């Protein structure tokens, strides 16, 4: 899969691959997260790397080389991490890499109003 691949969409959520098997420092692609309220980031780091989740509230999509602001802390171990209050644009970035592959997926959820 390529960075930015939409894997699943439902009425309440979307699952998107932000970075797929990166084996070097890499900038993901910005995705439009305006319709989403919160979500989770699933990071798989095989060996050694640092991942950053980046956000931007710019009115138009930033260039992929633009880093925006960091959402949360640096991620250095595989795991699932929460995002509360999604920014307008969201991407993942491998900011440091030593060895292995890095994959980052997100599931973003829409706010449910009853």
pLDDT digits (tens, 9 = 90+) for 75-84: 999 999 999 8
Angle at 105 between CA 45 and CA 101, to 5 degrees: 25
d(CA 16, CA 51): 16
The per-type count for the chain, helices as H runs and strands as E runs, is: 0, 10
DSSP assignment string, 24-46: SSEE---EE-TT--EEEEEEEES
Q: Provide mean pLDDT across the span 14-30.
A: 92
Q: Where are the domains of the chain?
A: 5-109
Q: In this structure, what DSSP letter does residue 17 have?
A: E
Class of domain 5-109 as given by CATH? mainly beta
- Of 47, 50, 53, give the one whose Cα is nearest residue 18: 53
Q: Which two tokens stand for residue 73?
A: 């802390």
Confidence tier at 4 by pLDDT (50, 70, 90): low
* Bridge partners for 5 per DSSP: 17
Question: What pLDDT is attached to residue 6?
Answer: 67
* Bridge partners for 89 per DSSP: 32, 56
Tell me how far apart the terminal alpha carbons of the chain are, to the nearest angstrom: 36
């Amino acid at each position: 899969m390529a960075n930015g691949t939409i894997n699943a969409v439902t009425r309440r959520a979307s699952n998107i691959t932000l970075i797929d098997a990166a084996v070097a420092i890499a900038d993901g692609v910005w995705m439009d997260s305006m319709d989403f309220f919160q979500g989770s980031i699933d990071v798989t780091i095989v060996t050694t790397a640092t991942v950053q989740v980046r956000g931007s509230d710019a009115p138009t999509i930033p260039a992929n080389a633009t880093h925006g602001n960091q959402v949360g802390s640096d991620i250095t171990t595989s795991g699932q991490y929460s995002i509360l209050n999604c920014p307008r644009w969201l991407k993942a970035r491998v900011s440091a890499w030593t060895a292995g592959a890095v994959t980052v997926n997100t599931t973003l959820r829409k706010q449910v109003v009853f």
